[in-house]
Amino acid sequence: MKQSNQLPAKVPDDAVGYRQISGIDNYNKTTGCSYFLVVLFIEGSGIHYVDEKQFPIHKNQLHFLFPGQHHHWVTGPETFAHKVVVGHKLFETFSSTDEFTFIRHNLNPVFKLSESITQVVKAEMEGFNRDLGLCSEDESWKNIIQLRMDILASMMKREAENYINDTLLPRSNTIIKKYWDLINAHYVDHKPISWYAEKLAVTPNYLNILCKKHTNMTATDMIHNKIIQEAKQQLRFTNDSIKVITSNLGFDNSGAFSAFFKKKTNFSPSEYRS
């Protein structure tokens, strides 16, 4: 894993970088980003444009940008923010990207944080600046940076879960809410959407239409995202063999699981674990 205090013009897939934003900053990324970006605005004004949508900048906000998106911002003179950039390959190692996928597909890249949560996230992001400097002197600090990234990802996951439960699902069709609950309860044993459609007394095609309308995702994507999230959790946080994890997730054999995981993450299960 590479680290840099100075953000290069192109962030490598396995890199993480940090910088502060202070005052007026006119940044325009006209091509699709190859990285994951998170910015914590402690103070701020201006506009952040993400894929041509406008998001006003205010204090105590967390802004996300995902690989492949375009963005541009113009910040006001009182702005002060912490910016962390994570390479695409490194971002895929996060175990909580399921919730991030909902944010990405539902065009909700901005969260308002409470003062207390802002201070906690601020402390973690400031830690990047210190740790990146120490890493240049001692390679063992790479593990500490990875742990700090895990903490930051967990905090972002919490905000994403709140958004899904408090905003996205309540405004969705009741069938979508039931579908979400069924996936969480039965994704191991039932992967085809036909089983869920039968339980919900709708056709698979209609279920897919509802998912696209209310979540901007296909019905199958929702199942697959849940499986990938759980696979990442087990690969990272358990000592179970890939054969055991394959069984835990309801795949017939390790080859089928490995092919599925590789297709979704660009890693084999063993590469991801290492």
Task: Give the single-character DSSP code of 8.
Answer: P
For the chain, the structural domain boundaries read 2-168, 174-273
- Band of residue 3 on the pLDDT scale cut at 50, 70, 90: very low
CB 262 within 8 A of CB 219: no
Neighbours of 107 (CB within 10 A): 12
Q: Which CATH superfamily is domain 174-273 in?
A: Homeodomain-like (1.10.10.60)
pLDDT tens-place string over residues 20-47 = 999 998 877 666 677 888 899 999 999 9
- Three-state DSSP state, 26: strand
Cα 128 to its chain centre, rounded Å, is 18
Alpha carbons 255 and 246: distance in angstroms, whole number: 9
- Three-state DSSP state, 257: helix
pLDDT tens-place string over residues 134-157 = 766 666 666 777 777 777 777 777
Those residues with Cβ within 8 angstroms of residue 15's Cβ, 6 or more apart along the chain or in another chain: 1, 2, 3, 4, 8, 85, 86, 87, 90
In degrees rounded to 5, what are phi and psi of residue 259?
Answer: -65, -40
- The DSSP code sequence of 58-119 is -SSEEEEE-TT--EEEEE-TT-EEEEEEEEHHHHTT-TTHHHHHHHHHTT--EEE--HHHHH
pLDDT tens-place string over residues 197-239 = 999 999 999 999 998 888 778 999 999 988 988 898 899 888 9
- Three-state DSSP state, 19: strand
Task: Give the single-character DSSP code of 241.
Answer: -
Q: Which CATH superfamily is domain 2-168 in?
A: Regulatory protein AraC (2.60.120.280)
